[in-house]
Amino acid sequence: MLTFLALAMIVVFIVLLSKKKLSVFAALTLVPLVFGIIAALATGHSLLDLFKWIQEGIFFKLNAKTGKVSWGVISPAATILFSILYFDIMLGVGLFDPVAEFFIKKAKGDPMKVLLSTVMVASVVSLNGDTTTTIIICIAAFLNLYKQLNLKLSYLAIVIVAPIGIWNQLPWGGPTIAAATALGVEISDLFRTLLPGLLAAQVVVILIAALLGKKERQRLNFNPSSTEKVSQEHLNQMLSAIRDNEPELKRPKLYWFNLLLTLGSLGLLIKGDIHGSIIFMLASAIALVINYRNVSECNNRLEALAEDVLPTAIVTMGAGVFSGVLTGSGMANALANSIASIIPTGLGSHMAPIYAIIAAPAICFLPQDAFYFGIASVIKGVMVQFGITPMQAAVASMVGQAFRLISPVIPALYMLCGETKQNFVDFQKEYLKYFWVVIVTYLVVYGLTGALPY
């Protein structure tokens, strides 16, 4: 009975999200509420038990025998809230502008340098975790240059999205938030585990950009030793896409302070001695006071950034309802046991990499929250029965992010394809032609570090 209810709840949740019948927050709260009522009545629990399940999913659960506390989503939600706030503040003050401008100036007229500069600028801008913002800024900065130099616009598209798929996995990025919340692991711990793979993937993306640049050199018969350069007019247009983005918020005189504050915050986050929410809450307060001296400016920034900060934090809190009902009612255990019973014993120990590969299309074609809360959270219970830890299950569920940025459910990609004059399916094919190696990189690196058992 509980297995059937669990499957029905997950399917209804995924369908409602896929068909856009409910928002993510509404689906995460209302669907488990309905099925939680059914599960409570079917198993002889009272409706008060349902609200206890929800409370444990949001706040914490105390194991009466061991005294161990299992945190709900309140921990990652607080980290998410303040980390997004902090990096939005840093994006506004122009912390990443000098790096982006440096790569644009160095590109000049060399196709290889242009492609390498594009991928580096996209990498820097994508650190704020927002796909749409990264695409808009990179298109504004590079589109005219690619047209002027007759470079393939399809290459522009794929070198913009490739690093986004990597750095969306930072602690304040959507995939990491969803995976950590759904699988019950700490965001900072998951990020430390993912970091070697992310760095290796970035190296691979740079090498692929260099390969594409070399192919463009050959196609255009460009001599790297020539003195051909981009016109000053086009260079200024590219730089203005960075400089003219909300100039009233820029604080160039405070650049080194903001850089040191950011590096210090990230260092503390990676070290793991202090909770991420505390780090970014304090860093946000310091950044606001130093960069915007009067109370009115600080309040205006908080109000302006609320649109970015609140939705993700609210969705994370809603996820506590979903995970709380699924776990507290016994549906998660029932479904995990049913799946585990049909998996051959010899295959169980190798389940992590197999799941990582099989899950890649699901990550690509399903809404992100539908995958992590509807599928990954249940598969975790199956993996645990074969000796795979929740952290290893979380890492396996992140491998498919290599293909997430060709997903048809990401609206910004249609804008990207429109600007680069290509069909969406052609864009997907062009990306897959080169970037399948990223998923292989993840599998190899995580295998070597022990984050993904084989």
Is the pLDDT at 212 greater than 90, yes or no?
A: yes
Write the pLDDT tens digit of every residue in 136-161.
778 767 776 787 678 889 999 999 99
Beta bridge partners of 70: 61
Query: Which two structure tokens, joined as six digits, stand for 179?
Result: 């995976």
For 60-100, the pLDDT digits (tens) are 777 666 666 667 778 777 877 888 788 889 888 988 778 66
At residue 256 the predicted structure's pLDDT band, cuts being 50, 70 and 90, is very high
Residue 234 is predicted with a pLDDT of 64
Q: Could you please report the per-residue DSSP string of 196-241?
A: HHHHHHHHHHHHHHHHHHHHHHHHHT--TTS-----HHHHHHHHHH
Please tell me the distance from the alpha carbon of residue 237 to that of residue 453, in angstroms, as a whole number: 49
Residue 68's pLDDT is what? 66
Name the residue with higher pLDDT: 452 or 143.
Answer: 452
Q: What is the pLDDT of residue 83?
A: 80
Q: Is the pLDDT of residue 228 over 60?
A: no
Mean pLDDT estimate for the chain: 82
- pLDDT score at 408: 64
Mean pLDDT over 376-380 rounds to 80
Joined tokens for residue 79? 């980290």
Mean pLDDT, range 187-195, rounded to an integer:
89
Q: Which two tokens stand for residue 178?
A: 């969803």
Rounded CA separation 107/235 (Å): 10
362-367 contacts at long range (C-beta below 8 A, 24 or more positions apart): 362/400, 363/397, 363/400, 363/401, 363/403, 363/404, 363/407, 364/400, 364/403, 364/404, 364/406, 364/407, 365/407, 365/408, 365/409, 366/14, 366/18, 366/409, 367/14, 367/17, 367/18, 367/24, 367/409
The percent of residues in the chain predicted with pLDDT above 70, rounded, is 87
- The two tokens of residue 439 are 């998923």
Averaged pLDDT, 199-216? 93
Taking alpha carbons only, the member of 406, 392, 437, 395 closest to residue 195 is 395
Checking if the pLDDT of 242 tops 80, the result is: no
pLDDT band at residue 131 using 50, 70 and 90 as cut-offs: confident
Res 220: pLDDT: 83
Helices (H), 43-152: 47-58, 74-93, 97-107, 111-125, 131-149
Q: How confident is the model at residue 292 (pLDDT cuts 50, 70, 90)?
A: very high
**pTM, to two decimals:** 0.68
**CA 308, 407, 180, 195 torsion-angle sign:** negative
DSSP letter assigned to residue 343: S
Residue-wise pLDDT tens digits, 406-435: 876 576 777 788 888 888 778 888 888 888
